[in-house]
Amino acid sequence: MTSLNEQLPPASSAAGAAGVAANEAVAPRARRRYSADLSALGEPALWGFGGALALGIIMIALFLMVVLYNGATTFWPKPIDRVELTDGTVIAGVERRGTIFRPDLPRLTEEQRAVVEENDGFAYRTLYQTANFDLYGDDFRWVADFEVAEVTQPADFYYFERQVWGVFVGRIAGMQINGVPMEYDAAVFRREQAAARDRFREIRRLERNDIGRINNLIERERLNQRRAILRQGEEAAAPTIAQSQERIAELQAEFQVLQARVNEIRALDRGFRVTLEEVGGRQIEPEMSQIVRYFAANNLSWTQKLGIYLSRWGEFVSAEPREANTQGGVLPAIFGTVAMTLLMVIFVAPFGVITALYLREYAKQGRITSIVRISVNNLAGVPSIVYGVFGLGFFAYTMGGTIDQLFYPENLPNPTFGKGGILWASLTLALLTVPVVIVATEEALAAVPRSMREGSLACGASKWQTIRYVVLPKALPGIMTGMILAMARGAGEVAPLMLVGVVKLAPALPIDGFYPFIHLDRSFMHLGFHIFDVGFQSRNSEAGKPMVFVTTLLLLTLIVIMNATAIIVRNRLKRKYATGQF
Amino acid sequence: MQDTLEFEPTAYHIKTSDEGTALDIRDFNLWYGQKQALFDNNLEIQKGQVTALIGPSGCGKSTLLRCLNRMNDLVDDLTITGKITVDGFDIYAKGVDVIALRKRMGMVFQKPNPFAMSIYDNITYPLRVDGVTKKSILDETVERALQQAALWKEVKDRLNDSALGLSGGQQQRLCIARAVASDPEVLLMDEPCSALDPIATARIEELIEELKGTYSIVIVTHSMAQAARVSDNTAFMYLGRLIEYGDTNTIFTNPQKSRTNDYVTGRFG
């Protein structure tokens, strides 16, 4: 550009000179610049645009890396350190993290103070997961560098994950097989522990399924009795009640049999114990069935570590939580999140699409339509907690309360639908996301070319036929985009759910084997709320911290999977209805 | 749009005679809001012949064409006076079944606009919206319409492929096949070749030649050469007014009005 500019002036001045020669009165032509300056080319703005994009990408990448790193490494087995302190105490634990801190100098010994003062009053400390909560009353301990006399990693230290009381770190001192104490033998222990776990699962299965079924049936009989009394009056219902009482007696007999079987297994189980010894020498004797997983943390080959890592992930995605959600799995939360999101889509899709269809295709475009449209757009900006309050007040208390009075009077004053539940939660979220769907659908409908509609109308199709056969198929990918956005927003929303049905620990899933199989009135667990609960509401937030990252990773993965599925479906539709080569 | 029937819709498909007036436009005025677009148009379109509407851009020829099957109903704020009659029925009378009217008037648009369906479904669309489900009738119609549109040989082996995979010229011929599928009386063509290359244009023009007689054709065109080649009668419009209407030969060789002369000789437009 500049070289062109430099070449031109001599030529133009030559032309000017010729002009002057021809007519003296004409002023020489003003020099004209032929190149655009920097601001006209937009180069500085380009740096700004690119910079903004780069900043956004860096922040997202950073966030993802933090989540991915912490989430992916949490389950990797880490070594156990045996730390001897200068004052003679010995602790054993897994190193969690470290920070620099400023120790309280007067409380330190002479030598320690000298070390700290050398470092300008700062020292480094490490957080050890010492576990053994039942013995120590605490799971974690800070150890400052200047206190440490010696750190070793003894090979005979084991890491036990227990059904209750969390982790135990220590040695195996011995075991009891069928009530007979004996020396520890790795092979025998492995076999007996597996058998004990099988017994544990057997008990759980009996309690959950068989006894659960009987309890469910007894509860239904009890409700039937109450219903009969409410409908027919005390006297008329007497035969029904007598019949029902008989049935309950039968069920209770069945219950006794099962309970006896459970007690039998329990009694057997009590004979199989393992003696564990913590680093200070104190011993406990838990039943083997209480040990979920154990490994010699300092004596693992790479493949063994991988095995433990995968087994922990397996437990995480397929089991129920233990220890106030800080351990075990999140299956109920995964199930709750997916079920709620899908239910929400089922509600929001027809509702949003039909609304948008009317608004765009049938309603007379004018002031009122504009007001409606602006209101819908504004709804998208209402804080989600407001929807939660509305959902609780309208759906749960008003609608649910009415349903209870009409259909479940026998259960009152216990609410059936008149409290938070998965149905109300998904309806609340549907309400929250419906503006997204309406706006996206409207745009998709508006983007269908006029020539398509005209072609159909000219064929003698009615307006509805045109919409049904030509407009909607063409707009479907755009509508799907709206659904994807709605799903992404709905799956990640937590605040309103806390009011309309999410709980810390749901005793049962919304779908199970008991009549009527799908229980939309039940409260449920949600991964988003799980993160909040484990990280910030738990008695032991340090223990829950790694779970926060793992659960975040899982929630992100889940949302990515759900969105990816929707995007694949949309692209398939797009290809089907793609405009031709014209 | 009124859905009440004043007469049997099938009445539209009966051809009363093979000669005479297909469409009669009388004192037709049209306003878009406050702006008048058509002024006192009077035109008789002959049965079985090709009538070309020519004129410079914005002269109202497309508007007039789109009034013939009431496509302009889609436009808000439209005012109309005057009459357009088809076999004595006033198509702008109250209670006219617009859908039945459009079945009687096939229309081909400027840009090919096949639906995102298979070739087969595109052609059977006018029948299917009419409630025809019998496979034999649909099959028969597809073959007839495609043969009429001179597309049968090219697509008979891939009737279930997407219509969007066809070339532009083939798409336009498919649209013609779709327009003739319901066996209309009148074929309205709104600059059907303006988006096509010369070879595809020649194919369409040949097609118009073949379809003439079976259908009364009204074609809006920008190209005077095309009007001269394909039409029997030509109407010249200018600024919403019908300036001159007559035999194509006369219009092009011996126009009565000086403005027509100026236009056909290329002095303006």
With a cut of 80, say whether residue B269 has pLDDT above it. no
Burial class (CB in 10 A: 0-12, 13-18, 19+), A320: middle
**Length of chain B in residues, anyone?**
269
d(CA A218, CA A251): 7
Question: Rounded to whole angstroms, how far apart are CA atoms B112 and B166?
Answer: 11
pLDDT digits (tens, 9 = 90+) for A487-543: 888 888 889 999 998 888 877 788 777 777 788 888 888 888 988 888 888 777 787
HSE-up (13 A, CA, CB side) for residue B196: 26
What integer pLDDT is reported at residue B15 of this predicted model?
43
Q: What is the pLDDT of residues A154-170, one digit of tens each?
A: 988 999 998 888 889 99
Helices (H) and strands (E) in chain B, counts: 10, 10
Q: B102: which chain A residues are within 8 Å (Cβ-Cβ)?
A: 457-460
Instruction: Give the CA distances from residue A392 to residues A137, A351, A429, A436, A508, in Å, rounded to whole numbers and listed in that order.
Output: 39, 20, 12, 22, 21
Residue A359 CA to residue A101 CA, distance in Å, equals 62
Q: pLDDT per residue over A74-105, tens digit each? A: 899 999 999 999 888 899 999 988 999 988 88
Q: Return all residues near B150 (Cβ < 8 A) that are at least 6 apart.
A: B173, B203, B206, B207, B210
Query: A431 and A507 in contact (C-beta within 8 Å)?
Result: no
Overall number of domains in chain B:
1
Residue B7, pLDDT above cutoff 50: no
Whether residues B115 and A460 touch (CB distance < 8 A) is answered with: no
Residue showing tokens 């002036």: A9
Q: Do A454 and B165 touch (CB under 8 A)?
A: no
Residue B74 near chain A (CB below 8 Å):
yes
Which residues does A414 contact at the CB level (< 8 Å), separation at least 6? none
Torsion angle defined by CA atoms of residues A334, A338, A343 and A346, in that order, rounded to the nearest 10 degrees: 180
Per-residue pLDDT band for A477 (boundaries 50, 70, 90) equals confident
Of A508, A73, A537, the residue nearest A331 (C-alpha): A508
For B11-22, the pLDDT digits (tens) are 333 344 456 788
Q: State both tokens at A434.
A: 């419906």
Q: Phi and psi at residue B55, in whole multiples of 5°?
A: 150, 165
Instruction: Summarize pLDDT for A556-579 with one digit per residue, the tens.
Output: 888 888 888 888 888 887 777 654
pLDDT tens digits for B84-114?
888 778 888 888 888 888 888 889 998 888 9
- Cα A105 from Cα A279, distance rounded (Å): 29
Q: Give the SS3 label for residue A20.
A: helix
CA distance A482 to chain B (A): 21
Structural domains of chain A ordered from first start: 1-35 (no CATH), 80-171 (2.30.30), 180-270 (no CATH), 335-509 (1.10.3720.10)
Residue B161 lies in a domain: no
Query: pLDDT per residue over A133-144, tens digit each?
Result: 888 888 888 999
Would you say residue B180 lies in a domain? Answer: no
Q: Is residue B179 part of a domain?
A: no
Longest Cα separation, chain A: 129
Cis check: omega of the bond before A413, within 30 degrees of 0: yes
Nearest to B166 among A578, A579, A580 (CB): A580
- Round to the nearest angstrom and report the end-to-end CA distance of chain A: 38
Residue A106 pLDDT exceeds 60: yes
- In chain A, residues with a C-beta closer than 8 Å to the C-beta of B168 are 581-582
What is the structure's pLDDT at B8?
Answer: 40
Residue B10 pLDDT exceeds 70: no
Assigned domain for B178 exists: no
A264/B2: higher pLDDT: A264
On whether any CB of chain A is under 8 Å from the CB of B112, the answer is: yes
Residue B113 has its nearest CB partner, among A452, A465, A576, at A452
Contact between A464 and A378 under an 8 Å Cβ cutoff? The reply is no
Chain B residues within 8 A of A577 when measuring between CB atoms: 116
Shortest Cα distance from B266 to chain A (angstroms)?
A: 31
Judged by CB atoms closer than 8 Å, whether chains meet at B182 and A453 is answered as no
Q: Which of the residues B69, B115, B118, B172 would you substitute to probe the A interface, choosing the one with the greatest number of A C-beta atoms within 10 Å?
A: B115
pLDDT of B19 reads: 66
State residue B14's pLDDT score.
Answer: 39
CB contact (8 A) between residue A460 and residue B126: yes
Q: Has residue B2 been placed in a domain? A: no
**Calpha distance A522→B232 (Å, rounded):** 77
- Is the pLDDT assigned to residue A263 strictly greater than 70? yes
Between chains, do A580 and B125 touch, taking CB under 8 Å as contact? no
Which pLDDT score, from 0 to 100, does residue B99 have?
86
Count of residues making up chain A: 582
Take residue A347 and report the two structure tokens written for it.
Answer: 């509600």
**Rounded average pLDDT over B234-253:** 89
Chain A residue numbers with beta carbons less than 8 Å from the beta carbon of B77 are none
A·B CB contacts under 8 A: 90
What the block records as the tokens of B244 is 């001159």
A579 vs B99, B129, B164: nearest CB: B164
Distance CA A123, CA A114 (A): 11
Q: Is the dihedral of CA A380, A382, A388, A393 positive or negative?
A: negative
Q: Do A457 and B182 make contact, defined as CB atoms within 8 angstroms?
A: no
Q: Report yes or no: A149 and A86 within 8 Å, Cβ to Cβ.
A: yes
- Cβ separation of B105 and A458 shorter than 8 Å? yes
B2 touches chain A (CB under 8 A): no
In this complex, is the C-beta atom of B186 within 8 Å of any C-beta atom belonging to chain A? no
Mean pLDDT of A415-443: 90
Give the distance from residue B82's alpha carbon to the nearest chain A alpha carbon, in angstroms: 22
What number is the average pLDDT over the span A435-458?
A: 91
pLDDT score of A121: 85
Residue A461 to residue B130: CA distance in whole angstroms: 8
Q: Which of B113, B122, B128, B176 to mutate to test the interface with A (most CBs of A within 10 A)?
A: B113
Asked if B171 has any chain A CB less than 8 Å from its own CB, the reply is: yes
Does residue A417 contact residue A521 with C-beta atoms inside 8 Å? yes
pLDDT of residue A9: 46
Output the pLDDT for position A61.
Answer: 96
> What are the chain B neighbours of A447 within 8 Å (beta carbons)?
none
Q: What is the mean pLDDT of residues B224-244?
A: 89
Mean per-residue pLDDT, A421-427 = 91
Joined together, the tokens standing for residue B234 give 């030509």
Q: Which of A334, A176, A183, A390 is nearest to A269 (CA)?
A: A176
The string of pLDDT tens digits covering residues B130-170 is: 888 888 889 988 998 898 888 888 888 988 888 888 888 89
Q: Is B71 on the interface with A (CB under 8 A)?
A: yes
Q: Which residues of B touch A362 (CB under 8 A)?
A: none
Say yes or no: B192 contacts chain A, CB-CB below 8 A: no
pLDDT score of A501: 85
Which member of A365, A470, A581 has the closest CB to residue B115? A470
Contact A214, A258 (CB under 8 A): yes
pLDDT digits (tens, 9 = 90+) for B196-214: 888 888 888 988 888 888 8
Per the prediction, chain A carries an average pLDDT of 85
B chain contacts of residue A578, beta-carbon cutoff 8 Å: 116, 164
How many CB atoms are closer than 10 A to CB B68?
21
Q: Is residue B153 part of a domain?
A: no
Q: A427, A392 in Cβ contact below 8 A?
A: no
Q: Which residues neighbour B206 within 8 Å (Cβ) at sequence distance 6 or greater?
A: B150
- Supply the pLDDT for residue A578: 55
Q: Do the chains contact at A458 and B167, CB–CB below 8 Å? A: no
Q: What is the pLDDT of residues A22-65, one digit of tens each?
A: 455 677 777 776 776 766 777 778 888 999 999 999 999 999 99
What pLDDT is stored for residue A64 in this prediction? 93
Nearest CA in chain B to A577: B116
Give CB contacts under 8 A, 24+ apart, made by B88-96: B89/B7, B93/B6, B94/B2, B95/B2, B95/B4, B95/B6, B96/B2, B96/B6
Contacts of A459 in chain B (CB under 8 A): 102-103, 125-126, 129, 178-179, 182
Beta-sheet strand order (sheet of B216-220): B89-90, B78-86, B21-32, B35-46, B241-247, B233-238, B50-54, B216-220, B186-190, B105-108
**Which of A65, A59, A144 shows the shortest CA–CA distance to A98?**
A144
CATH code at position B43: 3.40.50.300
From B125, B164, B179, residue closest to A580, measured CB to CB = B164
Tell if the CB–CB gap between A459 and B163 is shorter than 8 Å: no
Mean pLDDT of the A366-372 span = 91
Give the pLDDT of residue A51. Answer: 92
Q: Which helix or strand (DSSP H or E) is residue A294 part of?
A: strand A291-296
A27 DSSP 8-state letter: P
- Residue B169 near chain A (CB below 8 Å): no
User: Quick check: A458 and B129 CB within 8 A?
Assistant: no
Q: Are strands B233-238 and B50-54 parallel, antiparallel or unpaired?
A: parallel
pLDDT tens-digit map of B32-68 = 888 998 888 888 888 888 999 998 888 888 899 999 8
List CB contacts (< 8 A) between B176 and chain A: none
In chain A, the percentage of residues whose pLDDT exceeds 70 is 93
Question: Tokens at residue B188, please?
Answer: 């309205």
The answer to whether residue B98 is domain-embedded is yes
Supply the mean pLDDT for chain B.
Answer: 84
A112 pLDDT exceeds 80?
yes
Secondary structure (3-state) at A445: helix
Predicted confidence (pLDDT) at residue B4 exceeds the cutoff of 80:
no
Contact A455 B129 (CB under 8 A): no
Segment A352-357 shows an average pLDDT of: 93
What value, to the nearest 5°, has the Cα angle with vertex B115 and ends B113 and B117? 150
If you measure CA to CA, which chain A residue comes closest to B111? A451
The domain in which residue B242 lies consists of 22-115+185-264
Which of the 8 DSSP states describes residue B212? B
- With respect to residue B130, please indicate whether it lies within any of the assigned structural domains: no
pLDDT of residue A15: 44
pLDDT at B31 over 80: yes
Instruction: Confirm if B149 and B176 have CB atoms less than 8 A apart.
Output: yes
Chain A contacts to B (CB-CB under 8 A): 365, 449, 451-463, 465, 469-470, 473-474, 576-582
